[in-house]
Amino acid sequence: MSKALLVNIELMEKMAQLTSNVADYCYQCGTCTASCPFNILKPDTLNPRKIVRRALLGLPYDDGSLWLCSTCGLCEVKCPWSIRIPEVVRGYRQLASESRKIPQKLEEILWMIYEDGTAFPGSSIERTVWTEGLKIKDASREKVKVLLYIGCAVSFDKRLQKIAKSLVNILSKVGVDFGILGREEKCCGDVVYNIGEDAFLEELATQNIERFNKTGAEVIIAISPHSAHMFKRIYPKYGLKIPSQHYIEFIADLIEKDKIRLEKPVDGLVTIHDPCYLGRYLKIYDEPRKILSSIPGLEIIEMKDNKENAVCCGSGGGRHFLEVHGERLSHYRVMEAAETGAKIMVAPCPFCIQNFEDSVKVKRLDINVKDIIELVNLSVS
């Protein structure tokens, strides 16, 4: 019995507290493991059931697989008890953070955010490079009604900057009073949250909230679903009062109110990928479809796994910054998209777009990866 694991009641209670007892209902049926996208790629990569099991018994869990989970939440959707298994994963990551047992790469990321305000290579000066030639209010200096939160990935990546430009173009056209924080914008903390470094997250969020408050904005619009999730679900715990939206909600509303007229036809068959944090976390499924169906000429075709069954691109939960060995989830997902015969794959999430564009190249597929706003921009007269 020397190898026996000791049931640690303190740890058991701590995990229960960290995860607000979400796992209690678990009867260990294993549907989570059977549904985990990582296991579809390669069996026995990740065993969410055992993670929950360990939490329930107060057993330590700190092997590498803890950092493999992309917190995509498919397990939660499939769980008969809708147990928020990603919460359990985050609970264990919190424990790991407390004892400084996190992967070195993520440790570095935390330092980057601490020092530069972003997990992406780039300084705050570079944040506004993409705005050159555009007339955008600087919300850190003047009052705006709508604060547009660009997010790090979009700010620094040339490809992703197109999304911001499209959005800015449309908002300007419609005459929305909006602005950006520009060089003052800092990381939303999604990765910090998913690493479980809660003390740092609190500091980061508090500072961000202060900046947001100063703008006098009535609403915050985020481009990344990850940021939107942070502002909607996490920041209120740290005192954020300003309502926030993902840009899709905002745009859908403008279309609904006939403020945006989509008149130019965009021909093609399009399929929609529901990003985890937009879909399963924020339950935004109908709006992207509504927007696309109001673009003349576009025909929508659903993938086999859609809406709450959508397969993750592999980048959530801090995975964006970690190496991937072997087959990628994004490869699997673009193959699913290609199966539909669609020529355009819409993925309203910067992480997803980056991954899918890579995968499309690797798999040599004839499919264009776009953000929804890019299509909207094409259709606006």
Partner 1 sequence: MPDEVLVIGGGIAGIQCSLDLANAGVKVVLVEKTPTIGGKMAILDKNFPTLDCSICIEAPKMSEVGKHPNIELLTLAEVVNVEKDGGDYVVEIYQKPRYVTSECSRCGLCVDVCPVLLKNEFDYGMAARKAIYTPIPQSEPGAYVIDIDNCLNKPPNYLPCDRCIQVCGPKCIDFFMKPKLIKKKVKAIIVATGFEVFDATRIPDYSYGVHPDVLTSIEYERLLQSTGPSGGEIVKPSNGKHPESILFILCVGSRDPRYNRYCSRFCCMYTIKQAVQTKEHGIKNVDILYMDIRAYGKGFDGFYKRARDEGIVFIKGRAGRVIPNGDKLKVRYENILEGRMEEKEYDMVVLAVASEPPPDLAKLAKILGVELDEDGFIKTIPVRGKMVATTREGIFACGGASGPKDIADSVTEGGAAASAALEYVKEKSWPQEEYKETIPTEGEVRVGVFVCHCGSNIAGVADVKRLAEEAAKIPGVVHSEDLRFACAGVYTKYIEQVIREKNINRLVVAACSPKTHTTVFTGAAMRAGLNPYLFEMANIRNLDTWVHAAYPKEATEKALDMIKMAVAKAKLMKPLYVVKLPVTRRALVVGGGVAGMAAATSLARQGFETYLVEKESQLGGLVRYLDTIAPEEIRASDLLEEMERELYNSGVKVILGAKIESVSGYIGNFMVNLSNGMKLDVGAIIMATGAKVYQPHGELQPNGGQVITSLDLEEIFKNGGNPDAKKVVFIGCVGSRYDSKGCSRFCCQVMIKQAIKLREMGKNVFVLYKDIRTYSRKAEELYEKARALGVRFIKYDPEKKPEEVIKIEDNIVHVRDELLGEEISIPADLVVLNVGLVPNDEINSIAEQLKIARDEAGFLLELHPKLGPVESMVGGVFLAGAAQNPKDVREAITQGLAAAAKASALLAKDTIDKEPLMPRINYDKCTYCQRCVQVCTFSALRGELRKSLELISALCQGCGNCSAECMVGAMEAPGFTDEQIIAQIDAALEERPHEKAIVFACNWCSYAGADQAGIEKLQYPPSSRVIRTMCSARVSQKFIMRAFEKGAAVVMVTGCWPQDCHYNYANLNTEKRFKQWRKLLEARGINPERLILHWNSAAESKRWAAKMKEVDELIKKIPREEIIETVQKIGGGKK
Q: Which residues bind partner 1 (CB under 8 A)?
A: 1, 3-7, 9, 12, 16, 21, 24-31, 33-36, 39-40, 43-44, 47, 49-50, 53-54, 56-57, 59, 78, 80-82
CB of 340 to partner 1, least distance (A): 17
DSSP letter string, 334-360: HHHHHHTT-SEEE--SHHHHHHHHHHH
Output the CA–CA distances (angstroms, integers) from residue 35 to 15, 49, 51, 72, 276, in the order listed: 24, 11, 15, 11, 14
CB nearer to partner 1: pick between 47 and 207: 47
Which among 373, 344, 77, 122 has a CA at the least distance from the CA of 224?
373
CB of 73 to partner 1, least distance (A): 15
Task: Report the sign of the C-alpha dihedral through residues 340, 345, 351, 356, in that order.
Answer: positive
CB nearer to partner 1: pick between 24 and 299: 24
CB of 61 to partner 1, least distance (A): 11
CB nearer to partner 1: pick between 57 and 378: 57
CB nearer to partner 1: pick between 77 and 322: 77
CB of 368 to partner 1, least distance (A): 28
Which among 153, 143, 218 has a CA at the least distance from the CA of 181?
143
CB of 88 to partner 1, least distance (A): 15
CB nearer to partner 1: pick between 26 and 284: 26
Site of tokens 């087959």: 327
Site of tokens 């006939």: 258
User: What type of residue is 35?
Assistant: S
How far is Cα 313 from Cα 153, in angstroms, rounded to an integer?
15
